[in-house]
């Protein structure tokens, strides 16, 4: 998940307040369009006010890992890696993430890794055994030569690696060549595993939603071929799934790992990673412990969040996959309050913070109703991890761990309600972080100069919009629930922190004013109805100052965080595209779910690389090979704006009322110019990524545009 968020630029928060600058006679003659525009401005103003909380007290932090205690005194660490679909999440990439986590700069006897395979695929299990064998060579190589990039795929793909200090060493070059050969054999081994599985006729899609729990400790291999080294504790976990039982998506998988790890290793701190978010540096664990072991903040510190960064983004990042605003502005602003929101991956969380209120339960019966019937898990609540406890965990009866990963274990308990990662939304990270803040826990953002984790960002429009729809639905779910930050939060946290969470949960509402401002002023321009002050009016410059200042502020923000003028244009464009598509469909999904008309769904983002998509992305060309569900609104609204602009110019020239219509002409021009790539994709481009003018697209777009124009135009004429 998280989760990254769509860019929240200040330009979106500009409130026009056109009503107060209108001539009274004009205002009375155009009440209906004014009412729509004014309602849009109220929504924009509401979100803008909430957004100011992020700017109240932004901070940045520095860590000093050299001040940590010796390795013998460091606490144990559990690592959770989640994967769900081997067809969309390449097994090779999942194993590279696993290897990078195994190679963290941390005592191996204190490092325990758990891989959650929600697809229940034998491919993942067998690939882990292949990865274990390769790790016996890879980890000593990284340690011996102090390799910084410990993801083998990334290490062997970069032209200038981090081994400059050993470039002249014959021993190093020989070892590197040998390790590269082992890595190639490792990749071939994974391919053979997948081919064998395909030849066996197994249908992973069918099994992914219906399979028993599977838990297997990847055992040490005593073969003489393998270098005898101490490797971290590694466990494969596939929780039970039944079609009739709710699985709660990633939150359910994490809670299953949470319980199984509690009886096997029970480390006090947990690192959570998505399967494509590999460790780019081995230092993240020690950096996180600089906060967790700080006696001044540790008692109330729930988690340390590292920003999500990506290795496959182009210079201009036309889909804004890096989420610049979220990680460079918003999260730093929250860090100055009670801390950033939980972001789905790349965070070190204190195990105890997810226990809920178990300490107030007086009897064993109450405790069993709270966390379940496993005596071993209940025992782990008050027991710290030791070497002996891990050894016992290895030898626990299989039935005990399988019980903890079963579908029925959570029935009648508080799992997902008060204990563990919380259910009720696909944005379980934001929901869990919010409740942790409500319970008095804080968090911190750790953003060192070198990216500690790197993942795969979305490099095509379809994945970007599908992902955005999922986020918007999940976040608005929270805003419409009893956990609404503006209702649930003020008595339990600072009002500014409430505003931050409220802004995150309500930003999908941008779709309402965006649709209005992309249609109503344009039709009024065509009808000759002025909505904004005249250029000659004494209030014109005050009115114009508001949107211009917001656009300028956004530009300054982009430039000050390492962006460019072109990046500013891209963020404006992608905000408009996402708002009229993902935000709209996310809001509709949330409302349908609220009224029980639709079940929640979670589609993993496709992580399989497509050479054609990558080529278009690197050329800064939008790949419009997406569903008509997303294309129709973009084409329809752009058609309306172009038509109204042409008709408006003709009307203004013939009537001569430039003074009254200048703002509406500028607004229409702004939308057309910033969305020029859509025009280019529809009329100019001939490559595979263009918008194919298919009959369904043309008909649906024309029907939508005609319906909107005819309906509003008739209403305008009646008013």
**Binding residue ranges for Mn(2+):** 250, 274
CA distance 206 to 377: 31
Tokens of 192: 């053979």
Radius of gyration, alpha carbons of the chain: 28
Contact 421, 254 (CB under 8 A): yes
DSSP conformation letters of 290-332: HHHT-TTTGGGEEEEEPPPEESS--SS-TT-TT-HHIIIIIHH
Give the separation between CA 515 and CA 40, rounded to whole angstroms.
9
Whole-angstrom distance, CA of residue 534 vs CA of residue 150: 62
List of E strands, 15-108: 77-83
| Residues 6 or more apart in contact with residue 698 via CB below 8 angstroms | none
Q: Are strands 347-350 and 269-274 parallel, antiparallel or unpaired?
A: antiparallel
Residues 397/375, Cβ–Cβ less than 8 Å: no
| Catalytic annotation present for 276 | no
Structure token pair of residue 520: 């109503």
Q: In the chain, what is the straight-line distance between the N-terminal and C-terminal CA atoms, in Å?
A: 47
Q: State the DSSP H helix or E strand holding residue 278, giving kind and residue range, or none if neither.
A: strand 278-279
Q: Of the candidates 337, 316, 415, which has an alpha carbon nearest to the alpha carbon of residue 369? A: 415
Structure tokens at 405: 């990963």
Strands 347-350 vs 301-305: parallel, antiparallel or unpaired = antiparallel
281 φ/ψ sector (left φ>0, alpha ψ -120 to 50, else beta): beta
* Beta strand ranges found along 169-310 (DSSP E): 214-217, 233-238, 269-274, 278-279, 301-305, 309-310
Structure tokens at 281: 């540096």
Residue 294: burial class (beta carbons within 10 Å; 0-12, 13-18, 19+): middle
Exposure of 129 by Cβ count < 10 A (0-12 exposed, 13-18 middle, 19+ buried)? middle
> Which SS3 state, helix, strand or coil, does residue 81 take?
strand
Distances from the Cα of 598 to the Cαs of 43, 142, 590, 601, in angstroms? 26, 49, 9, 9
Binding residues: 88-89, 118, 250, 274
- Residues 6 or more apart from 251 whose CB is under 8 A from it? 416, 420, 421, 422, 423, 428, 432
Alpha carbons 142 and 152: distance in angstroms, whole number? 10
The residues, any chain, with a CB within 8 Å of residue 174's CB and separated by 6 or more, are: none
CA-CA distance, 605 to 623, in Å (whole number)?
Answer: 16
CA distance 59 to 568: 23
What DSSP state is assigned to residue 675?
Answer: T
388 catalytic? Reply is: no
Q: Which of 93, 117, 320, 429 is catalytic?
A: 429
Backbone angles phi, psi at 303, to 5 degrees: -155, 160
Q: Are the CB atoms for 81 and 275 separated by under 8 Å? A: yes
Name the phi and psi angles at 574, rounded to 5. -70, -30
Measured distance CA(253)–CA(85) in Å, rounded: 13
Task: Count the Cβ atoms, other than its own, within 10 Å of residue 230.
Answer: 12
Which of the following is catalytic: 85, 118, 589, 623? 118
Give the tokens for residue 96. 């590279």
Positions marked active-site: 118, 429
């Amino acid at each position: 998940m998280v989760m990254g968020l769509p860019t929240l630029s200040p330009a979106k928060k500009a409130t026009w307040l056109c009503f107060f600058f209108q001539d009274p006679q004009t205002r009375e003659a155009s009440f209906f369009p004014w009412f729509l525009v004014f309602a849009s401005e109220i929504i924009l103003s509401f979100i803008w006010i909430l957004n100011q909380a992020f700017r109240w007290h932004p901070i940045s932090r520095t860590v000093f890992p050299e001040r940590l205690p010796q390795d013998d005194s460091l606490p144990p660490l559990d690592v959770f890696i989640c994967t769900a679909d081997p067809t969309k999440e390449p097994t090779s990439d999942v194993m590279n993430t696993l290897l990078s986590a195994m190679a963290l700069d941390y005592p191996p006897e204190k490092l325990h890794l758990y891989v959650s395979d929600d697809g229940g695929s034998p491919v993942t299990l067998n690939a882990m055994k292949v990865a274990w064998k390769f790790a016996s060579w890879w980890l000593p190589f990284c340690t011996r030569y102090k390799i910084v990039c410990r993801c083998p795929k990334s290490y062997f793909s970069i032209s200038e690696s981090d081994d400059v200090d050993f470039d002249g060493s014959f021993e190093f070059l020989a070892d590197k060549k040998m390790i590269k050969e082992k890595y190639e054999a490792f990749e071939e081994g994974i391919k053979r595993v997948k081919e064998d599985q395909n030849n066996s006729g197994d249908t992973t899609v069918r099994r992914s939603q219906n399979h028993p729990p599977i838990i297997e400790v990847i055992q040490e291999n005593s073969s003489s071929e393998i270098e005898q080294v101490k490797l971290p504790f590694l466990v494969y976990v596939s929780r039970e799934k039944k079609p009739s039982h709710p699985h709660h998506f990633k939150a359910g998988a994490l809670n299953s790992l949470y319980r199984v790890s509690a009886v096997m290793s029970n480390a006090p701190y947990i690192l959570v990673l998505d399967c494509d978010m590999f460790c780019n540096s081995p230092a993240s664990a020690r950096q996180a412990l600089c906060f967790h072991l700080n006696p001044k903040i540790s008692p109330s510190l729930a988690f340390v969040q590292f920003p999500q960064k990506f290795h496959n983004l182009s210079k201009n990042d036309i889909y804004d996959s890096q989420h610049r605003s979220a990680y460079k502005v918003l999260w730093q602003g929250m860090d100055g309050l009670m801390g950033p929101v939980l972001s789905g991956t790349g965070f070190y969380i204190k195990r105890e913070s997810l226990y809920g209120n178990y300490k107030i339960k007086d009897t064993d019966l109450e405790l069993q109703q709270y966390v379940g019937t496993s005596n071993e898990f209940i025992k782990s609540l008050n027991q710290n991890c030791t070497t002996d406890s891990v050894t016992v965990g290895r030898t626990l009866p299989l039935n005990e761990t399988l019980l903890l990963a079963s579908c029925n274990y959570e029935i009648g308990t508080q799992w997902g309600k008060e204990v563990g990662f919380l259910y009720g939304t696909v944005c379980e990270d934001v929901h869990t972080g919010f409740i942790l803040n409500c319970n008095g826990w804080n968090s911190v953002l750790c953003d060192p100069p070198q990216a500690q984790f790197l993942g795969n960002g979305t490099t095509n429009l379809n994945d970007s919009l599908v992902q955005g729809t999922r986020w918007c639905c999940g976040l608005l779910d929270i805003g419409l629930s009893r956990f609404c930050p503006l209702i649930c939060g003020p008595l339990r946290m600072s009002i500014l922190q409430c505003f931050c969470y409220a802004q995150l949960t309500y930003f999908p509402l941008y779709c309402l004013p965006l649709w209005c401002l992309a249609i109503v002023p344009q039709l009024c321009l065509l009808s000759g109805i002025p909505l904004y002050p005249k250029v000659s009016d004494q209030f014109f410059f005050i009115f114009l100052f508001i949107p211009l200042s917001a656009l300028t502020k956004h530009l300054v923000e982009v430039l000050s965080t390492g962006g460019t003028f072109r990046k500013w244009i891209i963020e404006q464009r992608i905000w408009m595209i996402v708002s009229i598509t993902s935000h709209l469909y996310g809001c509709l999904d949330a409302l349908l779910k609220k009224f029980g008309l639709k079940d929640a769904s979670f589609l993993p983002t496709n992580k399989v690389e497509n050479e054609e998509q990558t080529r278009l992305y690197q050329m800064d060309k939008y790949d419009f090979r997406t569903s008509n569900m997303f294309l129709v609104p973009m084409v329809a609204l752009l058609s309306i704006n172009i038509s109204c602009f042409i008709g408006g110019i003709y009307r203004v020239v013939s009537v001569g009322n430039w003074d009254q219509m200048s703002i509406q002409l500028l607004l229409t021009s702004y939308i057309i110019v910033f969305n020029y790539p859509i025009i280019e994709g529809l009329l100019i481009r001939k490559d595979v990524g263009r918008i194919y003018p298919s009959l369904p697209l043309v008909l649906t777009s024309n029907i939508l545009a005609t319906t909107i124009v005819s309906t509003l135009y008739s209403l305008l004429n009646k008013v």
